[in-house]
């Protein structure tokens, strides 16, 4: 039995070789396709991975800045818009609630570039508003964006009071989707407003929190608007981030391999953080609608 199987395998192998020799010209014609595929598809990807481990890139400062900015972005997007949404949710007057919603959402129609330029004028060391306030208080004016000691923290302060319209609307939508009978039952049990928020409302809007966290992580890892328009990564690399280094390497210096390497690292970070966010940020409280 095994001898027959062996003969069949040898016969099949011989037929395959015979067929390949017969149609050898087809494989020759495919060489051009394989050459283009390797050159323009596989080589750039392999080159990016190669440059990650071989290029002498000094991005420690950039990654440290990115880590700090990302943590701060996640913290402020998970607290201040949520606080604003909770306050709007508890307002008794629907007209006032709608008016405040308009106030927070209206800046969304203004391009982000305009906001950056406005804050740059506020930080201007000679005639900016912040230094004018410090001088009025008999305090020493600061260099803000022009000093390595204050530049990064100045970027973190931008956007005060840190209630973005998108986050506010997402949180508010999550709160409004909670069935009223659940909250009424908690109120009848004597739960205070603060306890009801932490014990009932907050666990039920975990999906919204998870969405906000991952959106802000991705935006923070990829963003370099301030570096492009104002700081150029300075002073003394105090505000540089990997996304800015990637842009500089590719568009200014022509080091596309290095830029690709940074892009691969950012992709891996975003992918891993997304998996962690989807796996570990979950709610222990569930409800069934309808």
Closest CA relative to residue 244, chosen from 232, 258, 256? 232
CB-based contact 264:52 (threshold 8 Å): yes
Q: What is d(CA 286, CA 203) in angstroms, rounded to the nearest whole number?
A: 8
Give residue 256's pLDDT: 79
Distance CA 249, CA 257 (A): 9
CATH topology of domain 58-110+145-280: MetI-like fold (1.10.3720)
- Alpha-carbon torsion (97, 103, 107, 109), positive or negative: positive
Stretches where the chain sits below pLDDT 50 are: 1-7, 286-290
What is the model's pLDDT at position 129?
92
pLDDT reported for residue 11: 60
**Residue 289 exposed, middle or buried by CB count within 10 Å (0-12, 13-18, 19+):** exposed
pLDDT given for residue 212 in this prediction: 92
**How many whole angstroms separate alpha carbon 219 and alpha carbon 226?**
13
Looking at residue 151, its pLDDT comes to 93
Encode 164-187: b = buried (16+ Cβ within 10 Å), e = exposed: bbebbbbbbebbeebeeeebeebe
Neighbours of 121 (CB within 10 A): 10
Give the distance from CA 212 to its chain's centroid. 10
Domain ranges of the chain: 1-54, 58-110+145-280
pLDDT of residue 55: 54
The length of the chain in residues reads 290
H runs (alpha helix) in the chain: 2-22, 24-37, 43-54, 60-89, 94-105, 112-122, 129-136, 151-157, 165-176, 180-188, 193-196, 202-204, 206-222, 225-226, 242-247, 256-280
User: In whole angstroms, how large is the CA radius of gyration of the chain?
Assistant: 28
The pLDDT value given to residue 260:
79
Tell me the C-alpha to C-alpha distance, in Å, between residue 15 and each of 6, 8, 49, 143, 213.
Answer: 14, 10, 41, 80, 59
pLDDT of residue 283: 57
Q: How far apart are CA 210 and CA 286, in angstroms?
A: 15
Phi, psi of 14 (to 5 degrees): -65, -40
Query: What pTM does this model have?
Result: 0.76
Give 142's DSSP letter: -
By the 8 A CB rule, do 212 and 77 touch?
A: yes
């Amino acid at each position: 039995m095994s001898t027959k199987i062996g003969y069949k395998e040898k016969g099949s192998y011989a037929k395959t070789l015979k067929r390949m020799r017969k149609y050898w010209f087809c494989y020759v014609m495919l060489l051009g396709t394989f050459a283009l595929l390797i050159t323009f598809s596989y080589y750039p990807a392999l080159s990016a991975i190669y440059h990650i481990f071989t290029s002498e890139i000094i991005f420690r400062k950039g990654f440290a800045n990115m880590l700090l900015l990302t943590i701060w972005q996640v913290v402020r997007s998970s607290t201040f818009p949520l606080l604003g949404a909770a306050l709007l949710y508890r307002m008794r007057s629907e007209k006032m609630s709608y008016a405040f919603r308009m106030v927070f959402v209206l800046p969304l129609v203004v391009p982000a570039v305009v906001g950056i330029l406005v804050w740059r004028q506020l930080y201007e060391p000679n005639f900016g508003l912040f230094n004018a306030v410090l001088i009025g208080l008999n305090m020493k004016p600061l260099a803000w964006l022009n000093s390595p000691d204050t530049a990064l923290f100045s970027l973190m302060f931008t956007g005060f009071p840190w209630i973005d319209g998108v986050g506010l609307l997402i949180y508010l939508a999550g709160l409004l989707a909670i069935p009223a009978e659940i909250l009424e039952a908690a109120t009848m049990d004597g739960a205070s407003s603060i306890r009801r928020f932490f014990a009932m409302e907050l666990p039920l809007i975990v999906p919204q929190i998870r969405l906000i966290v991952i959106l802000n992580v991705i935006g923070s890892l990829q963003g370099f608007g301030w570096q492009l328009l104002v700081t150029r990564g300075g002073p003394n690399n105090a505000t540089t981030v990997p996304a800015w280094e990637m842009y500089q390497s590719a568009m200014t210096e022509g080091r596309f391999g290095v830029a690709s390497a940074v892009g691969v690292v950012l992709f891996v970070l975003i992918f891993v953080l997304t998996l962690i966010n989807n796996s570990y940020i979950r709610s222990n409280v569930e409800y069934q609608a309808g």
